[in-house]
Amino acid sequence: MSQLFPYPLLIIFLIIMWLLLTSFSLGQIIVGTVIALVAAQGMAALQPAKPRLKRWDLLLKLIGIVLYDIARSNIAVTRIILQGNKRKRKSGFMTIPLNLRDPIGLTILAVIITSTPGTAWLGYNFAQGTLLLHVFDLVDEAVWLDLIKNRYEYFLLEIFE
């Protein structure tokens, strides 16, 4: 069973995507299912590391928090751009040590940090486990450190480790 359906979430997502791109009819469901199964076999042939999610409920909560944070930092960055040079603004690099080692958790952290306006992920040092960020409005380093460590990394550690 698990050999025929190696990645159930991926298969469901691909079928939904196929139906959205074409139309909702029985024929398209059959074609979409066949394509999704073949694609899942191809994915299994690549042998990626299987994510081990421990807490589904926290994942949904994290998505909510991230959407709220993106909206909030959209407003903040808009204000800074429109204010121009009237306000003194300092932007700069900062290094953050991370306890998170799970590759998929790090990927999700990278997506969160990059898609939030105001922070950009520049590099991750595997040997030391440190993250290099560029922050648009670096008024207080402690605030950003607290945001990354206690708001995002805490959840990702709970979900994956």
Partner 1 sequence: MNHVADFPLWMAWFVAAFLIIGAGLTLIGSFGLYRLRSFYDRIHAPTLGTSWGTAAIVLASIIYFSVLQSRPVFHEILIGIFVTITTPVTFMLLGRAALYRDRSEKNPEVPAMDSPKSILDELKLMDKPESVYLESGERE
Interacting residues toward partner 1 by CB under 8 A: 17, 20-21, 70-71, 74, 77-78, 81-82, 84, 91, 93, 95, 110-111, 114-123, 125-128, 130, 132, 134, 136
Which C-beta is closer to partner 1: that of 40 or that of 109?
109
Which C-beta is closer to partner 1: that of 65 or that of 70?
70
Least distance from C-beta 5 to partner 1, angstroms? 22
Least distance from C-beta 124 to partner 1, angstroms? 10
Which C-beta is closer to partner 1: that of 26 or that of 82?
82
Least distance from C-beta 54 to partner 1, angstroms? 23
Least distance from C-beta 17 to partner 1, angstroms? 6
Runs of H (alpha helix) within the chain: 8-21, 26-46, 56-83, 103-115, 141-146, 154-160
Determine the 3-state secondary structure of 116 from DSSP. Answer: coil
- Residues 63/120/147/127 CA torsion (nearest 10 deg): 100
Record the tokens describing residue 18, joined without a space: 């196929």
Picking from 84, 95, 80, the residue whose alpha carbon sits closest to that of residue 137 is: 80
Which C-beta is closer to partner 1: that of 99 or that of 130?
130
List, in order, residues 6 or more apart from 116 with CB less than 8 Å away. Answer: 66, 69, 70, 73
